[in-house]
Structure 1
């Protein structure tokens, strides 16, 4: 079992917490992480881009100018892609970019991402995070105390509006639940902050 020093909101050590090796101490699989992030980004695409091809552009009913004598190249339609205002060659059309990958690959990627954070000393465990009211200043104070990087992901076990709203105005800081965190968010942030309850819930869900 990997041991991590647990901090409180003031940055003081309050003990150690043991994390399951099968989740936080595996050999990271870069291929699984790459495939999962690629899948996540593809699924976020709206796929609404669209342009008109030569069959959809208005006009083109008659030959734009005579065949010979103008000094210009021969042209049969104003909708030709080589003409100004003509259609687009292989015009993009709305499409769905979504695709799926095996659940086993997703689980392996998540465990790999968590293990990488622990291995690179980018994982911070806090005994609990409590704010009496949403205050950005208090969140900044806590992040400074635990020495979190500017880009930090805070993961909690239960939804807490005070935590979410306290972090919402800080650039580079995001919040997530154990049930909604994903590999892309973990990799895309320098510091991963887990509450004690979140760490235990991750072990329960992914063990």
Structure 2
């Protein structure tokens, strides 16, 4: 069973904690991770791109010159795609890029990246994370004490206004809840910081 040292906010070792092997000691499935990340990024696309086809561009109703006898190529409209100011061939239109990935694949991917974080020693478990007031320098102090990377993902059990507000001024730090943890965010940030409460919830849900 995998184990990891648990730290307090001062960076001191306060004991060893056992991790669930069903989550933190699984065979890493790279294809599942790729599939889920691709799905998450597709779901985040706005899909608001739009361009006009030749039918939607203003003008071009009159044939620019007669069909024959001019020595030039026949043309039917100055809004054809080959003309400057003409329409776009197969113009992109607003669409929904979202789709779903099977629940089992999402679970396999999440367990794979959590296992990877543990193996690469990028996982940090805190006994608790509590700030008396919302101050960025307090969050910076904690991150330095536990030797976290500048790019850090902080996972807490439930929304805490002081923690969220203290971290949001740090462009490379993101705060999330245990129930909204996703594969892309774990991969994007170098250090994964999880409170003991959040860890227990993750193990309860995904084990």
* TM-score normalized by the length of structure 1: 0.96
> Measured at CA, do residues 57 and 18 of structure 1 come closer, stay the same or move farther in structure 2, by a change above 3 Å?
same
Query: What does residue 45 of structure 2 align with?
Result: 45
User: C-alpha distance in 1, partners of 2:105/2:71?
Assistant: 62
Number of aligned positions between the proteins: 207
**Cα offset for 1:101?**
1.1
Query: What does residue 135 of structure 1 align with?
Result: 135
Matched, 1:76 2:76: yes
Query: What does residue 61 of structure 1 align with?
Result: 61
Q: Deviations over 1:29-63 (max 9, x none)?
A: 10110000000010111111111101111111112
User: C-alpha distance in 1, partners of 2:133/2:2?
Assistant: 34
Matches within 5 A, 1:23-42: 23-42=23-42
* Unpaired runs of at least 5, structure 1: none
How large is the Cα RMSD of the aligned pairs?
A: 1.4
Query: What does residue 86 of structure 1 align with?
Result: 86
Query: What does residue 155 of structure 2 align with?
Result: 155
> Measured at CA, do residues 150 and 69 of structure 1 come closer, stay the same or move farther in structure 2, by a change above 3 Å?
farther
Q: Deviations over 1:108-157 (max 9, x none)?
A: 11101100000100000011001000010010011011111111000011
> Measured at CA, do residues 69 and 147 of structure 1 come closer, stay the same or move farther in structure 2, by a change above 3 Å?
farther
User: C-alpha distance in 2, partners of 1:38/1:200?
Assistant: 28
Query: What does residue 112 of structure 1 align with?
Result: 112
**Cα offset for 1:75?**
2.2
Query: What does residue 22 of structure 1 align with?
Result: 22
User: C-alpha distance in 2, partners of 1:104/1:194?
Assistant: 23
Matched, 1:199 2:199: yes
* Unpaired runs of at least 5, structure 2: none
Query: What does residue 122 of structure 1 align with?
Result: 122
SS class of match (1:155)? strand
* TM-score normalized by the length of structure 2: 0.96
User: C-alpha distance in 2, partners of 1:103/1:23?
Assistant: 15
User: C-alpha distance in 2, partners of 1:72/1:111?
Assistant: 66
Query: What does residue 6 of structure 1 align with?
Result: 6
Matched, 1:146 2:146: yes
SS class of match (1:16)? strand
Q: Deviations over 1:150-192 (max 9, x none)?
A: 1100001121110000000001100000111110000111000
